[in-house]
Amino acid sequence: MRTILLIGMGLILAAGALLKGGVWPAQWIWCAAAMGVLSTAYLLLIRPRDLAPGGGAILGLVAAFAGWMLFQMVPLPPALVGVVSPARLETAQAAGLTGWLPLSVAPRATWEWLLNMLPALVAFVLARELGWQWRERMWLAVAPVIAVAWLESLLGLAQWSLARGESGVADSSIGTYVNRNHFAGLLEMALPLAALWAFSVWKRGQTRHERPAGPALAACGLLGVAACLLVGVVFSLSRMGFMASLMGLLLAGVLVLGTSSEPGYGRRRSLRWVAPVVIVGAGTALAAIYLPTDELIRRFASFAETDEITKDTRREIWRDTRTLIAAYPVTGSGLGTYESAFLRYKQVAPMQTVDFAHNDYLQATAELGVVGIAIGAALFFWIAAGLVRVVVLEPGSTHWALAVGLAGSLSTLLIHSLVDFNMYIPANALVAGWLCGLAASPGLRFRPGTAS
C-alpha cells in the first residue's frame, strides 16, 4: 500500500505541475478528486495498527483549519454577523441582501479556493503517513517532489537554450507554469532536499578507510540534480526565487557544518558555529555574485518590480491590504475573496484589477482573519518545533539530513512568500503540504532497531 500511496501522490503532483501549476479550476478539480480517491482508498485498505502513531493534536489543527474555511460559507443570523464582522453586514445591507449571511463576502469564490487548498491539507495528512510507512528509507518519501521539480528544471533549461539560439537574448524560463516566480517556487523547495540527499548518500557510504564508488556516484548524480534545479531558478529570472534558494542553501549549509554528534560545552560549543557561518556565508555571497545571468542582473537593477506592477504599486497594494485587514480583523473576508473584498478599499492602480496581494501573509490574514491565522500559526509552529528538535537536538539521528533539507526547503517558501503568492498556486501549495507532512511525521524521528 505504501508504494501505491507514493506513486499516486507523485502522479497527482506531476499532473498538477503539468497543468500550469493547477491555476485553472476546471483542470485542477481532477487532481483534487484524485487526491480524495487516493486518501479514501488508503484509509480503507490500511490496517488501523499500521497508521502513523500519535498526531491527534496536529491532525486536529489541520481539521480545525479546514473547518474554519468551511465555516466561512455557513449562513449565520445577521445579528451574529454584525457582532463578529460588522463590515460584512454593512456590505450585505448596502447590496440589499436580507436574511442569514455567510461570513465570506463571495461564498462561491471561497468554495472554489477551498477545492484548491483542500488537496494541500490532504497531502499533509498523507505525507505524514508516507513518512511513517517509509520510515526506514524515508528519502523515498520525498523523491517524487525532487523528480517533478527536476523535470520542470530540464524543461526550463531547454526553453532558455532555444530562446538563446533564436534571438541571442533569453526570456525567463517558466517550465509548464504560467508565471516564472511560481516555476521558481517549485524548484526552490526541491533544491535543498536534493543537495542534502546527496550529502546523506555520501556520508552513509563512507567507511573507516574508504568511500565506495557506488555511493559516491549516487551523490554526484543527486548533486547534478541540485545543480539543474539551481540553474533553473537562475534562468527563471525570478529575483526572490533566486534569493530564497540561496537562503535555503545557506541555512542547510550552516546546519550541516555547524552541527555535529559531539555536543560540546560552553565556549567551545558557541565557537563551533563561527567557521560554518563564515564559510557558507562567503560561498553564498560568491554564488550571488557569479551565478546570475545578465538578464537576471538587469532585473535586480529594478528590484521589487514585476512586469505588471512597480515597486511603488506593490507597496500601495500592501497599504490598501492592511486597510482591508482592519475592516475584517476577526473573521476575514473569506478564503479566495481578496479580489472581491479589496475593491472597496482599493486606491492603488484604479484602472487595473488586483487579484493577489503579492504577499501570502497579508492576503491570508485578510481572507482568514485572526481566527484562521491563529489556527494556521499554531499548526506551523507545531511542525517547526518538531523539525527544530530533530535538527538541533538529534544530529546523529537516522533522518537528520532529511530534517535539515526540509528546514531549508520550507525556509525558501517562507522567504519567497514575502513578495509573492506561491501558496495560492495549487501545485506549489500541495508540495508545501507534502513537505510539512513529512516534517511532522513520526518517521522522521525513527531509529532502526527501536519498536515501531
Task: Divide the 452 residues of the chain into consecutive groups of 10 and give the mean pLDDT of each group.
Answer: 93 96 92 95 90 90 96 95 93 88 94 93 96 94 97 94 72 90 96 94 68 81 94 92 92 80 47 60 69 71 55 82 95 94 85 85 96 96 92 86 95 94 95 96 81 50
What length does the chain have?
452
This prediction's pTM: 0.91
Judge residue 59's burial from the number of C-beta atoms within 10 Å of its C-beta, 0-12 exposed, 13-18 middle, 19 or more buried: middle
How far is it, in rounded angstroms, from Cα 153 to Cα 146?
Answer: 10
How far is it, in rounded angstroms, from Cα 319 to Cα 331?
Answer: 20
Q: Supply the pLDDT for residue 304.
A: 46
Least Cα distance to 425 among 241, 277, 274, 301 occurs for: 241
Q: Supply the pLDDT for residue 23.
A: 93
How far is it, in rounded angstroms, from Cα 251 to Cα 200?
Answer: 16
383, 58 Cβ separation under 8 angstroms: yes
How far is it, in rounded angstroms, from Cα 38 to Cα 53?
Answer: 20
Q: Supply the pLDDT for residue 260.
A: 55
Interhelix angle 360-393/311-327, rounded to 10 degrees, is 90
How far is it, in rounded angstroms, from Cα 383 to Cα 379?
Answer: 6
Residue 52 is which amino acid? A
- Residue 189 vs residues 185, 313, 433: alpha-carbon distances, Å: 6, 28, 12
Q: Supply the pLDDT for residue 311.
A: 59
- Residue 158 vs residues 144, 176, 270, 418, 435: alpha-carbon distances, Å: 21, 12, 46, 29, 28
373, 335 Cβ separation under 8 angstroms: no
How far is it, in rounded angstroms, from Cα 225 to Cα 150?
Answer: 6
